């Protein structure tokens, strides 16, 4: 059971918690939709989201399944490893990590990946703090 009551705004339990402020909910949903029309493959983003769910202790997202990492896919593998580093301590990521990332990602893709990771972190920490579950 979530720590606060659900609002009547939104289509999912997460949205109904955020829906206590419809302006924030609308902008949040717009930003989320923007990420899924970006440069990076949606499957890569899904595996990053699933990985972060377990790093952030987000029961709602963890209930949607474990990450499936295809280690033969270098882009996916690097993105997931990078997400784990960011979740662990974003201030300790070395320049050498970015040099490796640049072997398979453009600067624009790295910027999008970073923005996506921090957006998902915020989403999952919001849900985890309010004890959102898949009920």
pLDDT per residue over 55-103, tens digit each? Answer: 999 999 999 999 987 778 999 999 999 999 999 999 999 999 999 999 9
Q: Which of 86, 46, 102 is nearest to 69 (CA)?
A: 46
Distance from C-alpha of 80 to C-alpha of 76, rounded to nearest angstrom:
6
In this structure, of 1-10, 22-31, 61-70, the range with the lowest mean pLDDT score is 61-70
31-52 pLDDT tens trace:
999 999 999 999 999 999 999 9
- How far apart are alpha carbons 40 and 95 in whole angstroms? 22
What residues contact 94, with CB distance under 8 A and at least 6 apart? Answer: none
| Radius of gyration from C-alpha coordinates of the chain | 16
Q: Is the pLDDT of residue 29 over 90?
A: yes
pTM: 0.93
């Amino acid at each position: 059971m979530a720590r606060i009551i659900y609002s009547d705004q939104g289509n999912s339990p997460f949205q109904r918690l955020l829906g206590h402020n419809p302006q924030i909910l609308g902008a949040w949903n717009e930003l989320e939709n923007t990420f899924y029309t970006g440069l990076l493959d949606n499957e890569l983003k899904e595996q990053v989201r699933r990985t972060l769910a377990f790093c952030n202790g987000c029961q709602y997202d963890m209930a949607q399944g474990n990450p499936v990492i295809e280690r033969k896919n270098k882009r996916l593998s690097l993105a997931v490893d990078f997400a784990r580093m960011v979740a662990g301590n974003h201030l300790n990521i070395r320049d050498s990590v970015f040099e490796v990332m640049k072997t398979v990602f453009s600067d624009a893709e790295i910027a999008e990946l970073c923005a996506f990771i921090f957006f998902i972190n915020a989403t999952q920490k919001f849900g985890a703090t309010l004890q959102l579950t898949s009920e």
